[in-house]
Chains A and B, each alone.
Chain A
């Protein structure tokens, strides 16, 4: 029964049921991730606070509000991305893109797009941003370290004649890798594309159909992990070929989830053994498939694999329960098994589980994964309701 429940959970989460549409980078959220694909963020996060119609920058160490910015177009839904060390925040909403610097200066509308941004790939170090909206417009931007837009361009989904993109991401060199409908991978030169006002790219074939997920391995960025139809593969942009492939149907695996944090990896469930398996790119560009201990857990939310591929952290979340398991891959030692019973949305960081209780009055809980202490930020919207600025 336990296996069957886990299997069912895997089916629900792993086989495309309820999956996100094709994305570039990561799905946008109203809270900036505590990790990004390029390393660990600073100890601050930005979140959209709808009751007070503000964007709040929260210091996770002191659990205080560092900055608060009024929300443009508060009637719309907003998502965020943040610059390095929280130097600026990018506010995405329907037909609206705004860059808010730490001193409160704002700039907006680098280009006119018609849809609602749903995902973005962002390299804060290089200041390169690729944004995708729900009408499949792709915005390319180059930003200064303080968040000023240096140049930008808005492109459509057709990379070439009868070739539309399916998914993609930025690598650590700032190139935009796009999986294309003909089974190829397009390597887009972002700077040239912006300058020319047209897609500037080279491509190589993979023979992998319907690549719905592409994740550059930032440690060795000529490798990318891709999920296509019935297959998991490593593609090499340098040699322009498929380096390794793993057939789900042949191996009888179901995909439970995939993550680009920090090192891209995919979790599957082996129907042969009933065990969960994590797959990532090894040193030689070949797959490493590591069988995990029997955890028997459902509700996979997000996972992180550290850059050295030594520690896997998995968050399992339900409406009121959040469980964090940290596993040392060398010997499957459970380093951490922490359950937090608290209603709200959970975000996992390197050492903290941040829970936003979606309170009108404002309520954040930071559960330390090191000392298991809890720090809270409560009632921060009360003065806003009263019309008192703080």
Chain B
């Protein structure tokens, strides 16, 4: 059996997804905040435990309707006792394992995780895998993020126990551990017990302020920005216009991972009087297509700011420009096709329930011509914008 579980990690390694990002406390991944909350809840729950904790491994009456609590309700007295002993015996090891001094690492898997089993194809789909030799735990990101908090606590506790020494080796799912049928059943119970204890003792509530923080892993982002555009002096002079104009842009981005793709529509307009005599109006209607990369500079784990991320985008820009200059007697008008390129840097600040605050800057080059007025515009613009986004 020991050989079995020794082999398991290698077999699991074969099933590892090609894409896996590492959480090493530096941020940078969707789900990091939720994992941080889960680990903190487990830790705080363990620290408070002692032999006098009455509800440990039992289902409190007020949580009786919880699915996880049902696992505890089905335990026999010896199983309850064994559960309590295991937790109290190993709680210090678990806390040490999760400490910043420990060598435990977590990884996200965006593909399905499978382990060896007795199934027909010899594999079983799992939500997480522990690799004792590497001191690492791999979590299926999508599944983890879908789970309620108590399930996350139970899952991670289960995997943590795989890294705790037991007997000649470590806890495994297959080994028989009386009074439990096997290691898997025991570790599921231990996970449920910690999850219920976290609820019962109010640890879960301690992190409620982070529940509504907008999460960066949401892939569909709708963003509305209000822009101030500073134009090049040459373009402004050619158009008898001021160098500043205002606008708004609406963007949709799909970012399944750190890389995102986006499409946007933008309208900027200026209306001014030149030397108090001429009314000058220009409007740009633009469409942008581009891609960007997001990364997370903030390392504070249990903070909303860990969801803060920076992004850099490159977009091609296409659209139309309309121009009119007029006085009391006549007007001159023309329109032209706009082509351009823009690079953007922005910071996304998490608000709540999917909303974000956005600050950004752009440098872009637009080129167009008003044929009948014989005006060629080559405009290097600097843009500042502030906006908001909603991600789902």
Interface residues of A (CB under 8 A from B): 51, 343-344, 357-361, 363, 378-379, 382-383, 385-387
In Å, the complex CA distance between A64 and B18 comes to 73
State the main secondary structure of chain A at its contact with B: loop
CB pair B240–A344 under 8 Å, yes or no, is no
Contacting pair A361 B325 (CB below 8 A)? yes
Q: Which residues of A contact B119 (CB under 8 A)?
A: none
10 A-B pairs besides A358-B329, A361-B325, A361-B330 with CB distance below 8 A are A357-B330, A359-B327, A360-B277, A360-B278, A360-B327, A361-B329, A363-B330, A383-B374, A385-B240, A385-B278
Does residue B373 face the partner (Cβ distance < 8 Å to A)?
yes
- B120 on the interface (CB 8 Å rule)? no
Q: How far is the CB of B292 from chain A (nearest CB, A)?
A: 37
Q: Which residues of A are found within 8 Å of B325, using beta-carbon distances?
A: 361, 382
The answer, yes or no, to whether B274 is at the interface (CB within 8 Å) is yes
Query: Which residues of chain B come closer than 8 Å to A387, judged between CB atoms?
Result: 237
Instruction: Verify if B13 is at the interface (C-beta below 8 Å from A).
Output: no
B332 proximal to A (CB < 8 A): yes
Residues B332 and A382 in contact, CB atoms below 8 Å apart: yes
Q: Is the CB of A359 within 8 A of B329?
A: yes
Q: B379 → chain A, closest Cβ, in Å?
A: 15
- A63 vs chain B, min Cβ distance (A): 14
Residues of chain B contacted by A363 (CB below 8 angstroms): 329-330
Tell me if A361 and B240 are in contact (CB < 8 A).
no
CB distance from B277 to the nearest CB of A (A): 5
Cβ-defined partner of B278 (8 Å) among A358, A361, A378: A361
CA distance A360 to B327 in the complex (A): 6
Which of A361, A378, A383 lies at the interface centre, i.e. has the most chain B CB atoms within 10 A of its CB?
Answer: A361
Q: Residue of A at shortest CB range from B331?
A: A361
Of B237, B326, B329, which contacts A386 at CB under 8 A? B237
Q: Which residue of chain B has the shortest Cβ distance to A383 in the bound complex? A: B374
- Alpha-carbon distance between A22 and B325 when the two chains are bound, in angstroms: 43
Residue of A nearest to B278 (CB): A360
Q: Which residue of A lies closest to B373 (CB)?
A: A382
Answer whether residue B208 sits at the interface, using C-beta atoms and an 8 A cutoff. no
When distances are taken between beta carbons in the complex, the residues of chain A under 8 Å from B277 are 51, 360
Whole-angstrom CA separation of A382 from B278 in the bound complex:
10
Task: Write the chain B residue with the least CB distance to A343.
Answer: B329
Closest B residue by C-beta to A385: B240
Residue contact B328 to A359, C-beta cutoff 8 Å: yes
**Shortest distance from the beta carbon of A64 to any chain B beta carbon, whole Å:** 15
B326: chain A residues at CB < 8 Å are 361
Q: Report A-chain residues with C-beta under 8 Å of the C-beta of B146.
A: none
Residue B238 CB within 8 A of the other chain: yes
Report the Cα distance A47→B373, complex, angstroms.
Answer: 23
- Name the distance in Å between B236's Cβ and chain A's nearest Cβ: 11
- Measured CB to CB, the closest approach of chain A to B258, in angstroms, equals 46
Chain A residues lying within 8 Å of B329, measured Cβ to Cβ, are: 343-344, 357-359, 361, 363
Interface string of B306-338 (1 = CB under 8 A from A): 000000000000000000011111101000000
What are some 14 contacts across the A-B interface (CB < 8 A)?
A343-B329, A360-B277, A360-B278, A360-B327, A361-B329, A363-B329, A363-B330, A378-B330, A378-B332, A379-B332, A382-B325, A382-B332, A383-B374, A386-B240
In chain B between 211 and 241, which residues have their CB closer than 8 angstroms to a CB of chain A? 237-240
Nearest CB in chain B to that of A378: its residue: B330
A382 to B325, CA, bound (A): 9
A379 to B274, CA, bound (A): 15
Within the complex, what minimum Cβ distance (angstroms) separates B328 from chain A? 7
Give A344 to B239 CA distance when docked, in angstroms: 27
User: Chain B residues with Cβ under 8 A from A382's Cβ?
Assistant: 325, 332, 373
Chain A residues whose CB sits within 8 angstroms of the CB of B330 once the complex forms: 357, 359, 361, 363, 378-379
B238 touches A386 (CB 8 A): yes
Q: Given the complex, which residues of A lie within 8 Å of B238, measured CB to CB?
A: 386
Looking across the interface, which residue of chain A has its beta carbon closest to that of B240? Answer: A385
Docked Cα-Cα span, A386 to B374, in Å, equals: 11
CA–CA, A360 and B332, complex, Å: 12
Bound state CA distance, A387 and B239, in angstroms?
11
B349 → chain A closest CB, angstroms: 43
- B363-392 CB mask vs A (1 if < 8 Å, else 0) is 000000000011100000000000000000
Q: How far is the CA of A386 from the CA of B280 in the complex (A)?
A: 12
Query: Looking across the interface, which residue of chain B has its beta carbon closest to that of A342?
Result: B329
CB distance from B372 to the nearest CB of A (A): 9
A358 CA / B328 CA spacing, docked (Å) = 9
- B residues 322-366 near A (Cβ < 8 Å) are 325-330, 332
The interface centre, meaning the residue of B274, B327, B373, B375 with most chain A CB atoms within 10 A of its CB, is: B327
Interface flags, B55-67, vs A, CB<8A=1, else 0: 0000000000000
A87 to B325, CA, bound (A): 35
B332 touches A361 (CB 8 A): yes
Q: Which residues of B contact A358 (CB under 8 A)?
A: 329
How far apart sit A363 and B278, CA to CA, in the bound complex (Å)?
14
Name B326's closest neighbour in chain A (CB-CB). A361
Chain A residues whose CB sits within 8 angstroms of the CB of B332 once the complex forms: 361, 378-379, 382
Question: What is the minimal beta-carbon distance from A76 to any residue of chain B, in angstroms?
Answer: 19
Residues of A within 8 A of B237 (CB): 386-387
